[in-house]
Amino acid sequence: MQTSAVQVHSIDSHPGNERLLGVSASALALSACGGGGAASSASTGGAAQGAVSPNALPDAASASRLINQAAFGGNRAALDAMTQKGASAWLTEQMDMPRSQSMTDWLIAKGFADAAVNGNINGDGGWPNAMWWKLFAAPDAVRQRAVLAWSEIFVVSSLGLGAVTWKNFALANYWDILEKNAFGNFRSLLDAITLSSAMGSYLNMKGNQKANAALGRLPDENYAREVMQLFTIGLYNLRADGSLALDGSGNPQETYDNTDIQGLAKVFTGWNASTATDPSGVLAAAAYRHGLPMVLTSTLHSPEEKRFLGQLVVAKTTVTAEDGAADLKFALDALFNHPNTPPFISKQLIQRLVTSNPSGAYVARVAAVFANNGAGVRGDLRAVFQAIWLDAEARTPGALPAFGKLREPVLRIVQWGRTFGATNADGLWNLGYTDADTALGQMPLRAASVFNFFRPGYVPSNSALGAQNMVAPEFQITAEPTVVGYINYLAGTVNNARGIKVDYSYELTLATDAGALVTWLNQSLAGGALEAANLTLITQAVTSIAATTDAGKLNRVYAALTLVMASTDYLVQK
């Protein structure tokens, strides 16, 4: 990757008083896009085994790392709370926190259920606002971090919903489903996403009908394919540690073939939107129905024999609603109980939350918890998330030589907001879409395809990572335009722009001492990961800004934030 000069502006509140900081885009080039191994860890072998001691009290840097992994980021109070309580107790407290107001209720409360406002019936009307409120300000931050991870595995995108009526409520209700089931059981989550209106529209299960030879119609195979490939078992048989289970000739073994897809597609026939209406009269019928699971029309459900993954659903002469529901339960049970599902899902969650290339031992430990939480329960997601965040490999950044992951652009900006107590004056969080290359290059629930913004197995071409057989998923949306766009978007946000206000009161107390300011931001934002040479460079740049006035102190904070968050050491989450 070539580098180019980028100008980052730090502007105080006085017109005409503008300082220009020259920053090289090489700060974001991430070691020539090959990373020098910094973005990932070895795929085999292991570090220390198992979970850390639940009574271990982390130091400030370790607390910062866990809060970044599990809750986007946190302020001084959050760091102090974890160092006092310990990682396990803090996580338990956070996961016990009640769900924040649902996106659906937020949209209603903010007036987005009004058909006369903002083209809500056929437009997106408010769900981006609700999304930014959830990510920046909802109190249940750990749950929201888990939901964001789930949304990148069980992908639904506004870009693929076409002309769905009341799309804003379809997307809001999908987030609500992920939120409700985030720490529940994977089997319940799988059932809920399968029958959701948004998923039904996105992957064509809604309105899917049985075969009709006279019309040349066959059941749509889209959901049948993706529920296997992306949502449960993956393409190839896996060992418990997530590695490929090869045949006698050393070749990977496919988990399913086209016959399996065809058989499973018959299961997903006859389902369509509910016909219920809102008894309160608040929501239009179509908007209300997005919040209800799809229902079965038995006459449209396939009565034929259904064979898939070695399973058989016998043919029926006639089909009742109970038969269709039983077929669905049988199929989803088979996927849930497949031996691939624990390692396939566990590894992806680790990649989204902790490190791009977890060791096989780390994956195996988490997958074992997925398979059995210690009390004989399969799919206990609360236990799975705790196993991910408390594993020794997650808590020890130096356990493997190339541990870590590239921070997604959305995570960077949300971490800034969470760390400094973001608020919004009118309560509407009107940031809009941020997926343009001139912004963040990413927007939740706006992925280009069902394969997410980036594939879990993505390898940058002609890179050092590829030469070391490592993956770097987030690099799939990393290119010169998004590198430059991120720096400029960041610089135009940290100075209390875009309608978001944050609290820099503590940072201003440090502003006259550039070294102390940069050291604190390194700890709170990067978990202490910045190397000494980079700390020195950033401190020198910040020192060059006069701090003799309030405006000058603010400019020091703006500059320090921008430079720390543009540094390679920060961008690679350790």
Read off the pLDDT of each residue in 249-253 and give the average, rounded to a whole number. Answer: 97
- How long is the chain? 574
Say if residue 401 is exposed, middle or buried (CB neighbours under 10 Å; 0-12, 13-18, 19+): exposed
Q: What single DSSP character describes residue 184? A: S
- Mean local confidence (pLDDT), 67-77: 92
Name residue, tokens 């950044």. 397
- Helix, strand counts (H, E) of the chain: 25, 10
- Rounded mean pLDDT of 21-44? 36
pLDDT higher than threshold 90 for residue 263:
yes
CB 205 within 8 Å of CB 268? yes
Instruction: Give residue for tokens 């437009």.
Output: 123
Average pLDDT for 358-387: 98
Categorize the per-residue pLDDT at 37 as very low, low, confident or very high, splitting at 50, 70 and 90. very low
pLDDT score of 118 more than 80? no
Q: Cα(229)–Cα(243) distance, rounded to whole angstroms?
A: 16
Where are the alpha helices (H) located in 233-340, listed in sequence order?
A: 258-267, 285-289, 321-336
- Tell me the one-letter amino acid at 210: K
Give residue 97's pLDDT. Answer: 97
Angle at 453 between CA 449 and CA 455, to 5 degrees: 90
d(CA 93, CA 85): 10
Percent of the chain at pLDDT exceeding 70: 90
* 3-class DSSP assignment, residue 365: helix
Q: Is the pLDDT of residue 142 over 90?
A: yes
* Beta bridge pairs of residue 272: 295
Answer yes or no: is pLDDT of 57 > 80. no
163-to-57, 159, 324 alpha-carbon distances in Å:
52, 10, 28
Residue 397 clears pLDDT 90, i.e. is over it? no
Phi, psi of 358 (to 5 degrees): -65, 150
Per-residue pLDDT band at 59 (split at 50, 70, 90):
confident
Asked if pLDDT for residue 137 goes beyond 70, the answer is yes
Residue 277 has a pLDDT of 98
Residue 244 dihedral angles phi and psi, to the nearest 5°:
-70, 135
Split at pLDDT 50, 70, 90, the class of 402 is confident
pTM above 0.85, yes or no: yes
pLDDT 10s digits, 304-343:
999 999 999 999 999 999 999 999 999 999 999 999 999 9
Give yes or no for residue 133 having a pLDDT over 70: yes
Q: What is the pLDDT of residue 56?
A: 62
Tokens representing residue 35 in the block:
């990373």
- Supply the pLDDT for residue 60: 85
Tens-place pLDDT, residues 207-242? 999 999 999 999 999 999 999 999 999 999 999 999
Is residue 422 predicted with pLDDT exceeding 90?
Answer: yes
pLDDT classification of 55: cutoffs 50, 70, 90? low
Q: What are phi and psi of 73, to 5 degrees?
A: 155, 170
- Is a pLDDT exceeding 90 seen at residue 354? yes
Residue 53 gets which letter from DSSP? P
d(CA 573, CA 406): 6
Q: Among 10-14, 30-34, 428-432, which range has the highest average pLDDT?
A: 428-432
What pLDDT, in 10s, does the model give residues 176-187? 999 999 999 999
- Segment 385-414 shows an average pLDDT of 92
Mean pLDDT across 348-377: 97
> Is 70 exceeded by the pLDDT of residue 511?
yes
DSSP H stretches of helix in 182-235: 186-194, 197-202, 222-229
